Chains A and B, each alone.
Chain A
Amino acid sequence: MYVNFRYQAESPKSDVARRLSVLLDMATLLRGLRAAGALRGLGGVLAAPTATNPQFCRLRRGFYCAALRLQDESKSDKASSSSSSSSSTSYHEHYQAHSAQQDTAGQHHSDPAAEGTSSSADGQSEYQDEEYESEEQLQARILTAALEFVPLHGWSMEAIAAGAESLGLSSASTGMFINGSGELVLHFIADCNTKLTEILAEQHNQVQLGQAEKKKTSEFLRDAVETRLRMYIPYIETWPQAMSILLLPHNIPDSLKHLSNLVDDIWYYAGDRSTDMNWYTKRAVLTGIYNTTELVMVQDSSPDFQDTWAFLDNRIQDVVNMATTAKQVQSTGEAVVQGLMGAAVTLKNLAGLNQRR
């Protein structure tokens, strides 16, 4: 993107031509800014990879490849916007520092020209190859490996460093993670959500095929929440630390997003297809149940967390009772209104007001 400003002090051209040239300059400038903004945006996207959805990863690999190509073009131009290229070059610096240890990653990034020539469609199939691992995949691998060391080091950079070392990478690769402990916890949570979705989808299939009985809603919710919370058991000692990490301001948007996706998934597989305010109330109720049960779980010392599951049972029972009570109140109200109307008509008849003379 070469932004070109032409200022002509005294122009022999006509007024119209001058205005046209200014407009063209502005258009070029806008195009340049938009592309620069897109690059910056891409850089920002790549800075905090938390999604583990494979389709999303493929899209990001495509973006990353595109970003590298664009960044390459912009580097070769003189007047490229420095801020956008700096955000992408920081990744290059990280990889170049570890190029000795990460040969494959080094190859990948020190040779962007080769990528640049391949179209993004071809690039995606190339990325299936082991040699061309994208940054998100690498980060995901390191974070997954780091989970093993969490009971020892807690949710911290040390765990990530230990994880990187266990994969044969240098512990300096923690430099890739700006928000290390946050990314580790969020990665774990996204992983748990994916596993839960798979389990629920499998159960759903079994019911469709007739191989299993359809559960009652309260039972379904109870089982789903229990399954999901049981995934925390290996890390329960350090879970309070993880919860406090999730409450840090810069992690809150992501953790809320994961929580809302989780609750939406559970309700979807429980059979909720509402399209009115019930959509909101159901999810709010389940979020409350899930969060309180999680809190009970971290301070539960009973065998196999029996107290937690009993608490969960009681909360779900509360909700069921509330729903039943609400229905009863409504039908009672309707019956009372009908009774009053009947009494009013009777009175009118008695007073002779209903006669037609």
Chain B
Amino acid sequence: MVHRILRVDHAGEFGANRIYAGQMAVLGRSKIGPLIQQMWDQEKKHLAKFNEILSENRVRPTALLPFWNIAGFVLGASTALLGKEGAMACTVAVEESISEHYNSQIRVLMEKDPERYTELLQVIKEFRDDEMEHHDTGLEHDAESVPGFWLLKNVIQLGCKAAISISERV
């Protein structure tokens, strides 16, 4: 069970990295570039931490990594093409998905055995707080003013849910 949690978290951080990479590829030289770069750097730290945890616990990474590589980049780049608001909307949708997901993982681990998983819980809580910060930053920077925000947000979150359930198993 812990292996599934770690596998999907690793896949999630990897995907988030690629999304920000896609956004930077399009908007890197615009005004919003430094902000996206800053959020991307935080995700890089998250990914490094999960790489460490995965190898310590001998967890198999998800076999769909090449797919998330491309899909994440394409998602980031295509939403960035909608402008700065589009990129922020994508960030809001993804970070909300991820925060919800981290919260449910925290609940599961707390139910199971909080003492045994203290370190992991600590890590997940910290990362969840970071993701919520990204979500709020996205909202601050006019994410909601993109045309079709509701549709875009729900489509992206549906994709995230599918990605999460597949990555737990494959």
Q: Hey, which bits of chain A sit against chain B, CB under 8 A?
A: 264, 268, 273-277, 279-280
Contacts of A274 in B (CB 8 A): 55
User: Are A264 and B61 also in contact (CB < 8 A) when A275-B10, A277-B66 are?
Assistant: no
What 1/0 flags go to B1-38 for Cβ under 8 Å of A?
00000000010000000000000000000000000000
Task: Specify the main secondary structure of chain A where it touches its partner.
Answer: helix
Q: Let me know if B155 is at the binding interface, CB within 8 A.
A: no
Q: Which of A268, A273, A275, A276 has its CB near the most chain B CB atoms (within 10 A)? A: A275
* Known A-B contacts A264-B58, A268-B58; A275 and B66 likewise in contact (beta carbons under 8 Å): no
> What residues of chain A lie closer than 8 Å to B65, measured between beta carbons?
276-277
Chain A residues within 8 Å of B51, by CB: 275
CB A277 to nearest CB in B, in angstroms, measures: 6
Is A279 a contact partner of B58 (Cβ separation < 8 A)? no
9 shortest A-B CB distances, which residue pairs?
A273-B55, A275-B54, A275-B51, A275-B61, A279-B61, A276-B65, A277-B65, A275-B55, A268-B58
Kindly list chain A residues whose C-beta atoms are within 8 Å of the C-beta of B58. 264, 268
Taken residue by residue from 29 to 53, chain B's Cβ proximity to chain A (1 for < 8 Å, 0 otherwise) reads as 0000000000000000000001100
Does B63 interact with chain A (Cβ within 8 Å)? yes
Residues of chain B contacted by A273 (CB below 8 angstroms): 55
- B169 in the interface (beta carbon within 8 A): no
CB closest chain-B residue, reference A264: B58
Size of the B side of the interface (Cβ < 8 Å), in residues, is 11
CB distance from A232 to the nearest CB of B (A): 26
A298 to B54, CA, bound (A): 37
Is B60 among interface residues, defined by CB-CB distance under 8 A? yes
Which residues of B are at the interface with A, using a C-beta cutoff of 8 A?
10, 50-51, 54-55, 58, 60-61, 63, 65-66
Contacts of B66 in A (CB 8 A): 277
The answer to whether B63 touches A280, judged by C-beta atoms less than 8 angstroms apart, is yes
Looking at the assembled complex, report how far the CB atom of B51 sits from the nearest CB atom of chain A, in whole angstroms: 5
Residues of B within 8 A of A276 (CB): 61, 65
A274 to B63, CA, bound (A): 13
Output the residue of B50, B55, B63, B66 with the most chain A CB within 10 A: B55
When chains A and B are docked, how far (Å) is the Cα of A268 from the Cα of B56? Answer: 10
User: How far is it, in angstroms, between the C-alpha of A277 and the C-alpha of B61 when the chains are bound?
Assistant: 8
Q: Chain A's nearest CB lies how many Å from the CB of B57?
A: 11
Considering the complex, give the chain B residue whose CB is closest to the CB of A280: B63
Q: List 17 A-B contacts (CB under 8 A).
A: A264-B58, A268-B58, A273-B55, A274-B55, A275-B10, A275-B50, A275-B51, A275-B54, A275-B55, A275-B61, A276-B61, A276-B65, A277-B65, A277-B66, A279-B60, A279-B61, A280-B63
Most B-side CB within 10 Å, residue of A264, A274, A277, A279 = A279
Q: Which residues of chain A are near B63, meaning CB under 8 Å?
A: 280
Alpha-carbon distance between A275 and B14 when the two chains are bound, in angstroms: 11
Measured in the bound complex, the distance between the Cα atoms of B61 and A280 in whole Å is 9
Q: How distant is A82 from chain B, measured CB to nearest CB, in Å?
A: 32
B73 to chain A, nearest CB (A): 15
Distance (whole angstroms) from the CB of A230 to the closest CB of chain B: 26
Q: Report A305 CB to chain B, min CB distance, Å.
A: 31
Identity of the chain B residue whose Cβ is nearest the Cβ of A265 in the assembled complex = B58
Chain A: CB-nearest residue to B58: A268
Residue of chain A at shortest CB distance from B10: A275
Distance of B161 from chain A, by nearest CB (Å)? 23
Which residues of B are found within 8 Å of A277, using beta-carbon distances?
Answer: 65-66
Give the complex CA separation of A264 and B54 in angstroms.
Answer: 14
Residues of chain A within 8 A of B60, CB atoms compared: 279
Distance to closest chain B CB from A91 (angstroms): 29
A298 to B157, CA, bound (A): 54
Q: Which of chain B's residues have a CB closer than 8 A to the CB of A268?
A: 58
Task: Give the distance in Å from the alpha carbon of A275 to the alpha carbon of B10 in the complex.
Answer: 9
Rounded to whole Å, the gap between the CB of B155 and the closest CB of chain A is: 28
